[in-house]
Amino acid sequence: MSGRIATTQMSVNPVTDVAVISITNLDETGAVNSLLSGIFSSGAEVLAERELATNAREGVDLYALLLPYRARVLVINPAPQVVAPPNVHFSLNLFHNPTAIDPTLQAGKYLIALALFDYQTTYQMLSRQDQIARTLDQFLAGIPLAPGVSQDWFRAVLGAQEFTLSDVKLENDSKAVITVKVTRPDLALWERTIDATTDSNSGPDQAARTNLSANGFPKVTYDDNIVVVKEAGDWKILCDFPGKERIEERHKEGIQAYHQHDYDKAITAYQAAISEADRDQASGNAGIKFSLEKELDHLKNVKAQISEGDAYIPKVALSDVDMKMAESRVPGIFGKLTNKGNKAIDEVVVTVTYLEGSGKEKKQVFSEQHSIVVTPIEFVNFSRPVLPFVPGETRSFGFKLIAPSVIQNSAKVDLDVSSIAFTQSTAPLPKPPPP
């Protein structure tokens, strides 16, 4: 072996068969070439000496040299024995941009700590402004790049996610954006699939856990990002929690407007949320934007089908309608609804019209609308069945009336289906329950 290396350490992970090398006091790049050539003698390409000379820095683990050979390895200085969990991968070539090594390492450390459920470490890696904006407990309620699921499901779903650091862009000397390819359960599709295929008496929990253990769930892949900024010489993760709050506020406005069938308002709210995610670079914003755009496409499809939905309304039949006192001792309307057509429906709105007079003198004095079929388009943590109203199904409904009592006491009431929204999900449809 040519050259002189004062200290060389090599360990091989028996599970992944990955060699991890730490070389210190390096003074000749030919030595590294010879060492790597001996390890990867099965035809793997050895890096050019000029590239090694650019990147091989004294005292730094040469983790980057292994990346072209083993994408799943990450070595963190000064612990060369540390290898990334199996769901965190590297596929980077940093040799043409050596200044990107440190910010990329910080992004990798964040993902490793997250994958190992080391939340204290992930929190300590945040920028100063993010730690001021969030306590540790608040951070745990919305960790960037982590799955947006409840505490009961967090570890299991996080363990099913895969992260691959695939690109790095240096904005300037104190800011870098690292692209992270994320593969995770398609939560909304998965939830609908389980609810459609699981016995209602057994609940979704066992089915979901079986899916996770067998890796048998629908997946989605997209590019997210980790933004790092330099503070007092150290690279820190930038999250911008106030910005994420603004995004979530717009998102909630959009969801509410959608369930009210005000699609223009819903679309405007979603577009505002996406603009917020685009406006400032922050860790996790690209992933948020991806999810919002999927839901926005859903809304646009529903809006485009308004005319078709209106034509379908006669196939949504009301029966056994009765106006009576609810359990809370306020007037309500109760009845049954049957889907007599051939399409699945996510949303049904009815209009209650109060009429006074008769014949040509009959006039409307008040009206109110109520949603009697409401199906989430977002993941709801298996907290309730997410089931569309399928062909042949009959459902019972009931709602409280809000008209002033003087109108309720004097006017006649008409009830009509006023709008519907077809199911957009590709999940299998449940079988209609027996009548």
Q: Which residue has better confidence, 206 or 186?
A: 186
The region, left, alpha or beta by phi > 0 then psi within -120 to 50, assigned to residue 117 is left
Instruction: Using alpha carbons, select from 88, 50, 44 the residue that is nearest to residue 66.
Output: 44
Alpha helices in 27-67 (DSSP H): 29-39, 49-55, 63-66
- Grouping H, G, I as helix, E, B as strand and the rest as coil, residue 213 is helix
Q: Which residues pair with 277 in a beta bridge?
A: none
Rounded mean pLDDT of 138-145?
94
Do 60 and 96 reside in the same domain of the chain? no
Do 378 and 270 reside in the same domain of the chain? no
Do 87 and 59 reside in the same domain of the chain? no
Do 77 and 181 reside in the same domain of the chain? yes
Amino acid at 373: V
Q: What is the pLDDT of residues 371-393, one digit of tens each?
A: 999 999 999 988 888 999 999 99
Q: Pick the last residue of a domain from 301, 336, 368.
A: 301
pLDDT at 30 over 90: no
Q: What is the pLDDT of residues 304-346, one digit of tens each?
A: 999 999 999 999 999 999 988 877 778 999 999 999 999 999 9
Q: Give residue for tokens 């006023």.
A: 418
**Overall pTM > 0.95:** no
In this predicted structure, which of 20-34, 40-54, 264-278 has the lowest mean pLDDT? 40-54
pLDDT at 416 over 90: yes
pLDDT at 73 over 90: no
Domain that residue 19 falls in? 1-67
CATH code (residue 153): 3.10.450.100
Which string of DSSP letters, residue by residue, matches 278-316? HHS--TTHHHHHHHHHHHHHHHHHHHHTHHHHHHHGGGE
Inside any domain, residue 427: no
Do 131 and 279 reside in the same domain of the chain? yes
The predicted pLDDT at position 329 comes to: 77
Do 289 and 350 reside in the same domain of the chain? no
Distance of CA 59 to the CA centre of its chain: 39
Do 276 and 381 reside in the same domain of the chain? no
Task: Give CA separation, 182 vs 16, 85, 87, 393, 418, in Å.
Answer: 21, 15, 10, 38, 41
The predicted pLDDT at position 111 comes to: 87
pLDDT at 195 over 70: yes
For the sheet with 316-325, list strands across it: 316-325, 331-339, 394-400
Q: Pick the last residue of a domain from 42, 67, 92.
A: 67
Instruction: Using alpha carbons, select from 221, 219, 216 the residue that is nearest to residue 197.
Output: 216
How many domains does the structure of the chain reveal? Answer: 3
Inside any domain, residue 53: yes
The predicted pLDDT at position 382 comes to: 85
The predicted pLDDT at position 97 comes to: 53
Do 101 and 118 reside in the same domain of the chain? yes
Inside any domain, residue 139: yes
Do 273 and 166 reside in the same domain of the chain? yes
Q: Give residue for tokens 């009845």.
A: 335
Residues 6+ apart with CB under 8 A from 151: none
Rounded mean pLDDT of 162-177?
88
Six-digit token pair at 110? 């964040």
- In the chain, what percentage of residues exceed pLDDT 70? 76
pLDDT at 79 over 90: no
pLDDT at 80 over 50: no
Measured from the Cβ of residue 135, the count of other Cβ atoms closer than 10 Å reads 11
Rounded mean pLDDT of 203-232?
92
CATH code (residue 414): 2.60.40
pLDDT at 254 over 50: yes
Inside any domain, residue 102: yes
How far apart, in whole angstroms, are the C-alpha atoms of residue 228 and residue 178? 8
The predicted pLDDT at position 291 comes to: 96
Do 238 and 354 reside in the same domain of the chain? no
Residue 331 class from Cβ within 10 Å (0-12 exposed, 13-18 middle, 19+ buried)? middle
Inside any domain, residue 189: yes
Q: Pick the last residue of a domain from 301, 329, 362.
A: 301
Do 147 and 284 reside in the same domain of the chain? yes
pLDDT at 45 over 50: no
Inside any domain, residue 434: no
Which string of DSSP letters, residue by residue, matches 120-159? HHHHHTB-HHHHHH--HHHHHTS-TTS----HHHHHHHHH
Inside any domain, residue 430: no
Do 195 and 319 reside in the same domain of the chain? no
Residues 6+ apart with CB under 8 A from 234: none
Mean pLDDT of the chain: 80
Rounded mean pLDDT of 76-84?
36
Count of helix runs (H) and strand runs (E) in the chain: 15, 13
pLDDT at 403 over 90: yes
The predicted pLDDT at position 98 comes to: 53
Q: What is the pLDDT of residues 90-107, one digit of tens each?
A: 554 443 455 666 787 788
- Grouping H, G, I as helix, E, B as strand and the rest as coil, residue 101 is helix
How far apart, in whole angstroms, are the C-alpha atoms of residue 387 and residue 233? 52
Inside any domain, residue 431: no
